[in-house]
Chains A and B, each alone.
Chain A
């Protein structure tokens, strides 16, 4: 597939553009399949959900699943808004912390020369390749020693040292921020914190907008099951999971939940992507 596009690309003819567009459209249809399926499922009445053989598209769309979901959420012992608050708190504080600690360190590791920098950079790359599965036990011990079991912090603070985020920020700063710009700012007497906040961060906006999407997705799915057991501290995915686990008759509600849970990251994603395009349209900085 790629080879055919390559040949057409060289000439940059209208025909070539059409071929690319055709393949992109084909790819997009293939990739969009799960999303279309999820939307379709959420509007299916119960008899269609259990139809065999299964059908991809909904035939008689209904809003019943969403109505049932609202009724069930209203019956929950802890108000559903509380779960929503818990989730939002974890997502927002975790996200802000991750972007701040990550970008601060990334700036220094990319643009400063100081003893230990090489070692830290090396350890960070290596740590990306270590499977987190086996580190779960020491982490549990640490969190319980700190007294963070059954608090938001058990989920939030480990996210603040998400290495992938730092690595992403560091690579973008290295590629997009010119040293000459930083030197000019220093000659003008700007402090390092000012340079970080007023020059570096605005320039690498696409980086932290992308990071926000990734962290949001991580934390939005968080059920907190390992550390949080108090009902009033549980998160929305946990609460909705409980609603969906109510048996076969809840299949419709469960499909509606999947759609609701998916739509939030998608909204964040669309908002973020439009911001990325906006920045790049106006700044014109960057490149090597």
Chain B
């Protein structure tokens, strides 16, 4: 039989520490049956490939010849000899520091507001807010809005109003490129996290709030901080990971807006750099090194957010 223990014992599993590992594993064989199918596939299709690409990051590999071991060369080249990579790092950090937290807050606030609505209206609003995620690559609408000639929707309107006297090259002028890319990314960001927050909020039982009212919860803000957010902790962590990966891995929508070769690399991100080396130049060793660096930065951010989330509700 599997030993299932209450929360307190989960924190202190030392109680069963006297038995040997094998005995404990045999005792819990049901648990292994449960995780077995997933873990088998996960090992084959995720763990092993990830470990392989970490090894590849220390090699030169052009996908034709067998990889040759070159030690830390890829990493040294990244930070000391690749100026474009450093621009990409700067852009990605700027992009992630803004879109990550803002999209996270947007997901929560909109989910929270929508959750208060009547069921039918709620379902409809959820659909509308989720629309940019469901309709695939519709961010092309934005290239048309921000088109750089006098017929571009925004240019034409601003010129009619007399605010500008000549068309602005929105997607080619480095002053505007990053802000536009950020706005469009935020517009697209009510995706998975938003849905999870909606589902999570609906899973909080009404009795929790009733009990809270008896315990002296006075207003909506105390309710949010002491009841809703602690009950949402698991979903908040999920959302944090989604925001981190979404903002550090951004490439597709940026490429669609500012093109494959943005002016002065103004919107060139680490992920675009990775795709460039992996899919265009076929330098898989170098691309793997980039992905390892990206991975470490994301893990660092996740640990930071995890620590911050532990303070919620205290």
Asked if A115 and B205 sit within 8 Å, CB to CB, the answer is no
Report B-chain residues with C-beta under 8 Å of the C-beta of A28. Answer: 125, 128-129
A45 contacts the other chain (Cβ, under 8 Å)? Answer: no
Query: Across the two chains, which residue of chain A brings its CB closest to B151?
Result: A53
Q: CA A105 – CA B31 in complex, angstroms?
A: 8
Q: CA A130 – CA B39 in complex, angstroms?
A: 17
Q: CA A287 – CA B230 in complex, angstroms?
A: 9
Most B Cβ at <10 Å: residue of A115, A183, A217, A221:
A115
Q: How far is the CB of B278 from chain A (nearest CB, A)?
A: 6
A59 contacts the other chain (Cβ, under 8 Å)? Answer: no
Of A33, A109, A186, A277, which contacts B122 at CB under 8 A?
A277
A-B Cβ contacts below 8 A, count: 278
B284 contacts the other chain (Cβ, under 8 Å)? Answer: yes
Report A-chain residues with C-beta under 8 Å of the C-beta of B34. Answer: 104-105, 107-108, 112, 192, 196
Q: CA A102 – CA B38 in complex, angstroms?
A: 6
Report B-chain residues with C-beta under 8 Å of the C-beta of A108. Answer: 2, 30-32, 34-35
Asked if B234 and A174 sit within 8 Å, CB to CB, the answer is yes
Interface locus among A68-76, A206-214, A223-231, A243-251: A206-214
Asked if A175 and B233 sit within 8 Å, CB to CB, the answer is yes
Report B-chain residues with C-beta under 8 Å of the C-beta of A125. Answer: 241, 302
Q: CA A261 – CA B138 in complex, angstroms?
A: 13
Query: Across the two chains, which residue of chain A brings its CB closest to B275?
Result: A133
Of B13, B109, B131, B141, which contacts A113 at CB under 8 A?
B13
Asked if B127 and A134 sit within 8 Å, CB to CB, the answer is no
Q: CA A193 – CA B126 in complex, angstroms?
A: 34
Interface residues of B in 121-140 (CB under 8 A from A): 122-123, 125-136, 138-139
B204 contacts the other chain (Cβ, under 8 Å)? Answer: yes
Mark A256-268 against chain B: 1 for CB-CB distance below 8 A, else 0. Answer: 0000011001100
Q: How far is the CB of B201 from chain A (nearest CB, A)?
A: 9
Query: Across the two chains, which residue of chain B brings its CB closest to A12?
Result: B220
B162 contacts the other chain (Cβ, under 8 Å)? Answer: no
Q: How far is the CB of B293 from chain A (nearest CB, A)?
A: 10
Mark B278-294 against chain A: 1 for CB-CB distance below 8 A, else 0. Answer: 11000010011001001
Q: CA A276 – CA B197 in complex, angstroms?
A: 13
B298 contacts the other chain (Cβ, under 8 Å)? Answer: yes
Q: CA A217 – CA B137 in complex, angstroms?
A: 12
Of B13, B105, B138, B198, which contacts A38 at CB under 8 A?
B138
Mark A130-174 against chain B: 1 for CB-CB distance below 8 A, else 0. Answer: 110111011100100000000000000110110110111001101
Asked if B127 and A112 sit within 8 Å, CB to CB, the answer is no
A286 contacts the other chain (Cβ, under 8 Å)? Answer: yes
Asked if B220 and A175 sit within 8 Å, CB to CB, the answer is no
Q: CA A213 – CA B204 in complex, angstroms?
A: 21
Asked if A111 and B4 sit within 8 Å, CB to CB, the answer is yes
Given contacts A30-B187, A31-B132, contact A133 B274 (CB under 8 A): yes
Number of interface residues of B (CB under 8 A): 108
Of A12, A34, A186, which contacts B131 at CB under 8 A?
A34
A127 contacts the other chain (Cβ, under 8 Å)? Answer: yes
Q: CA A114 – CA B279 in complex, angstroms?
A: 42
Asked if A31 and B53 sit within 8 Å, CB to CB, the answer is no
Q: CA A160 – CA B192 in complex, angstroms?
A: 18
Given contacts A12-B220, A288-B208, contact A171 B235 (CB under 8 A): yes
Query: What is the interface of chain A mostly: helix, strand, loop, or mixed?
Result: helix
A24 contacts the other chain (Cβ, under 8 Å)? Answer: yes
A81 contacts the other chain (Cβ, under 8 Å)? Answer: no
A96 contacts the other chain (Cβ, under 8 Å)? Answer: no
B28 contacts the other chain (Cβ, under 8 Å)? Answer: yes
Interface residues of A in 4-54 (CB under 8 A from B): 5, 9-10, 12, 20, 23-24, 27-28, 30-35, 37-38, 52-54
Given contacts A34-B135, A112-B3, A126-B299, contact A138 B199 (CB under 8 A): no
Q: CA A285 – CA B46 in complex, angstroms?
A: 35
B42 contacts the other chain (Cβ, under 8 Å)? Answer: yes
Query: Across the two chains, which residue of chain B brings its CB closest to A127?
Result: B46
B89 contacts the other chain (Cβ, under 8 Å)? Answer: no
Q: CA A196 – CA B94 in complex, angstroms?
A: 44
Q: List 15 A-B contacts (CB under 8 A).
A: A9-B220, A23-B113, A31-B130, A34-B139, A38-B138, A113-B9, A114-B32, A129-B245, A142-B48, A171-B234, A176-B203, A265-B134, A274-B123, A277-B123, A287-B207
The 4 closest A-B CB pairs, nearest first, are A34-B138, A114-B28, A135-B49, A108-B34
Q: Which residues of B contact A (CB under 8 A)?
A: 1-7, 9-10, 13, 16, 21, 24-25, 28, 30-32, 34-35, 37-39, 41-42, 44-50, 52-53, 56, 63, 105, 109-110, 113-114, 119, 122-123, 125-136, 138-139, 141, 144, 151-153, 156, 187, 190, 192, 195-196, 198-200, 202-208, 219-221, 230-235, 237-238, 241, 244-245, 249, 271, 274-275, 278-279, 284, 287-288, 291, 294-295, 298-299, 302
Known pairs A53-B151, A161-B44, A214-B195. 15 more at Cβ < 8 A? A28-B128, A32-B128, A38-B135, A54-B153, A112-B2, A113-B3, A115-B28, A133-B275, A135-B50, A158-B41, A166-B38, A210-B196, A270-B127, A273-B126, A280-B203
